[in-house]
Structures are given as structure tokens and as C-alpha cells.
Amino acid sequence: MAFVTDKAELKPGLIIFRRGDVEHRQWYCRMKIPKADRYKTVSQKTTDMDVARDRAFDQDADIRFRLKHDVPVFNHPFREVGREYLLTQEARAQHGEISAARPKKVRAVIEGTLDRYVGSTQVHLIGDELWSGYPTWRRENGVGRNKRNGVREVTAEMAEAFAKNEAERRTKVQHTRQDSGAETD
């Protein structure tokens, strides 16, 4: 079975078509990106050919606007942008601009909780509203600093025991200093 069916050329470099490898009958448009050997394919989310045609021309206008104003035509998920950033940080570390440990810390953050939260989300869709929900999501779903770093809640009894042990230790140190000072006199 052919992948492209019911193909209709709207203008050079812009076609609408249906896919033969899917169950639905929705239309897609494919646009040739000028001065590049690439195409952008977008679902028109309609089975009506006239609506698909109108939407395809809108998509074509959007692509031309993006190219004219240097706006990226192809979206990238956060995961991909994060990997690109990590590569630049690793290169900076190799050149001594930042510490060698810094890329490792950045990698842990990007490939850890941030990837779980927004990894597959297209970067252009990540805004203030999504970021403002991150702390709440992290508290509900994240490992948390307390467990990860071995920090634990301290009860009043434990605090009292720690204080008592610390006082005993200080007393011993003080006596040791006094004893060693008396011998040198």
C-alpha cells in the first residue's frame, strides 16, 4: 500500500495528501522548505478537503513568516535542547572555562527530574504557567533533597541526645587541652 494517497498539489512545494498507512482519513500537508533539502509535514486534523486546503495555505504562510523572521521552523523537545546544552557545557569544561564537575551536575538535573517533567514537551510550548507548576510537581513526584542527601527529621529527643553528646565531646577536648598544657609548663 502506498504511503501517500489522494495527493493534490496546491502550488509548487505545497501538497495535501492522505496517508495510506493509517486507519483514519484525515488530510496532511507537506511543505518544501526553501533553500533547504527538507520538508515539513503537518496534520490538518480534518477529513474535509476544502478545510485541509485552507489550513495548508495557512501553514505555508506560517513557514514563510518564520523563515523571514528567523524563527525556527522545526520544533525541538526539551530533551533535545538539554542535550545540546550539555554538549556545550562539556566543551567548556574541556577548555577549562568551567569545572569538570559542573557538566556532571547539569546532566543530573537535565536528564533527571527536568526530563521527567518536560522532556518530550516542545520547547516553544514551555512557558511561565508550566514552569510555575514544577515545584509542586517536584514535591509530589520527585525524590527530594532530604532522602537523596541523607538528611532526616530530628525529633526533640534526638536533638537532646545530640546536644548531650556534643557537650560531652567538648568537655573531653577541653580536659585534654588542659592536661597537655599542664605538662608543657
pLDDT, averaged across the chain: 86
Residue 6, sorted as left (phi over 0), alpha (psi -120 to 50) or beta, turns out to be left
CA distance 47 to 24: 9
- Tell me the angle at which helices 78-94 and 101-109 cross, rounded to the nearest 10 degrees: 170
- 8-32 pLDDT, tens digit per residue, is 999 999 999 999 888 899 999 999 9
Interval 45-71 mean pLDDT:
92
* Contact assessment for residue 11 and residue 59, using Cβ atoms and an 8 Å cutoff: no
Interval 62-85 mean pLDDT:
87
Strands 27-32 and 39-43: antiparallel
Identify the pLDDT of residue 92: 93
Identify the pLDDT of residue 185: 45
- 129-146 pLDDT, tens digit per residue, is 888 988 888 888 866 555
- Among residues of the chain, what percentage have pLDDT more than 90? 43
Task: For residue 147, name the pLDDT band (cuts at 50, 70, 90).
Answer: low
CA distance 16 to 56: 7
Phi, psi of 91 (to 5 degrees): -65, -40
Tell me the three cell numbers of residue 130: 508550566
Residue 85 has pLDDT above 70, yes or no: yes
Q: Residue ranges of the domains in the chain?
A: 4-68, 78-142
- Among residues of the chain, what percentage have pLDDT more than 70? 90
| Residues β-bridged to residue 122 | 77
Neighbours of 174 (CB within 10 A): 10
Q: Any idea how long the chain is? A: 185
CA distance 89 to 104: 9
Considering the entire predicted model, what is its pTM?
0.48
Identify the pLDDT of residue 103: 93
Identify the pLDDT of residue 144: 55
Cell numbers 536533638 correspond to 159
